[in-house]
Structure 1
Amino acid sequence: MPYQGVLFDMDGLLLDTERLVVECFRQATVEFGLPDMDNVVFRLIGLRADAGEVILRKALDGRVDYPEFYEGWYAHIRNRMAQGIPLKDGVPVLLELLQNQGLPCAVATSTHTPKAQEHLEIAGILPYFQTVTGGEQVKHGKPAPDIYHAAAASLGMKAKNCAAFEDSDPGASAAFASGARTVQVPDINTPAPEMRKLGHTIAPDILQGARMIGLIGRALIRH
């Protein structure tokens, strides 16, 4: 199908940040003396802050004040990101190809918009995107499709006429529910078994995913 635009998740898909977030979470749990929290962070991936807060508060179970833990965790993240934010493999090549084709691109992320714009700028790819839609701009976060409808609308089009790229299960579910042609490129979490029945495309990397849905041709890629 001809695509009118392309919609992208950010963390774990464009930016190689999820491992950093996990490392900083583990660092915070050590500092706060919480040895049983190691797997909690993986349940937060792809979720908006409000949904993640519910999970994290329950896991903390009153042992540590939530705002204090959250600030300690994010202080480590800010310090790490100030040193630079790496891109996932294939991202610069794909964005350049899409720009050369004249396809408008937008970001649809659970991160708040100003923070997302800052991170994209630090990573050097903000100019490739016409718009950035953050999680606070919609009523329902991922896995609801709201953010993909909003991101497509910000480009003046419908999600069903766009390709969408995600890494997490909640994000891929959101993109697929919006009607966008969805590619999931898993990062640190393997797709759940039920995700493989969804009907979207699961790819080992972003460039191969783009080829699999006909967004780019093999001949366009030069290494």
Structure 2
Amino acid sequence: MIDWKTIDTVLLDMDGTLLDLHFDNRFWLEHVPTHYARQYDMSLEQAKTELYRRFEDRQGQLEWYCLDYWQAELKLDLLTMKRELAHLISLRPGAEAFLAALQRSSKRVVMITNAHQQSLSLKLEKASLGQYFDLMISSHQYGFAKEHPQFWPALQADIGIDPKRCLFIDDSLPVLRSGQRWGIAELIAISHPDSQGSAKNTEEFAAVNDFTELLPIE
């Protein structure tokens, strides 16, 4: 699928790409509403209705991914609540083998994630991914989510990459389209980001489920 001779830099998302999205879906769609209902004395159904609407209002914006923003909005200790579910943080199929193969190659490997820095730290603590990356970047460092067109010039100015010699793998179609508009040459989606959910339609993008489908790396 990939002509590795044309790739200098591999850009990798974290949640739903390297890590199973089940943790995040369970946290935001079930765990947070349960705590919110208890704190504000409402039914779980009422809590979900209110929270899902508030989440949708911020979808694709940096606030949607910002732990500080939601802690202030909801008056909940979200980091402690994340630790309650940390046992669900796990790598997706073939992710570690793929990262190890990249590490043995001459490719530059960069994580670009919308995850808030505190969430990133927790996941790196549980999944031990840091050793495989030359750089790890949260979009919060730039002030723009990856969906935003200004994220990409900020990334280029920061780390100096040639989009025509990049591979970018992400589970979000809006994010992939944003990278495509910026000029990234090779883009791959994830067909099954949540192991407990159904496969997704990745539309115009080629997709993988198990990263070993992309081996070997030359």
| Same fold at TM > 0.5 | yes
Aligned position for 2:207: 202
Aligned position for 2:104: 100
Alignment-mate amino acid for residue 84 of structure 2: N
Q: 1:127-206, aligned counterparts within 5 Å?
A: 127-151=131-155, 153-180=157-184, 181-186=186-191, 187-188=193-194, 191=200, 196-197=203-204, 200-206=205-211
Aligned position for 1:50: 63
Aligned position for 1:5: 9
Alignment-mate amino acid for residue 35 of structure 1: E
Q: Higher mean Cα deviation, 180-189 or 35-44?
A: 35-44
Aligned position for 1:62: none
Residue 34 (structure 2) pairs with residue 24 (structure 1): no
Uncovered stretches (5+) of structure 1, i.e. residues with no partner: 58-64
Contact 2:58 2:64 in 1 (8 A): no
Higher relative contact order (CA 8 A, sep 6+): 2
Q: Higher mean Cα deviation, 147-156 or 4-13?
A: 147-156
| Distance (Å, rounded) in 2 between the aligned partners of 1:139 and 1:11 | 19
Aligned position for 1:112: 116
User: TM-score when scaled to structure 1?
Assistant: 0.71
Q: Higher mean Cα deviation, 145-154 or 24-33?
A: 145-154
- Over the matched positions of the two proteins, sequence identity in percent amounts to 19
Q: CA RMSD in A?
A: 3.4
Q: How many residues align?
A: 196
Uncovered stretches (5+) of structure 2, i.e. residues with no partner: 38-42
Q: Higher mean Cα deviation, 168-177 or 85-94?
A: 168-177
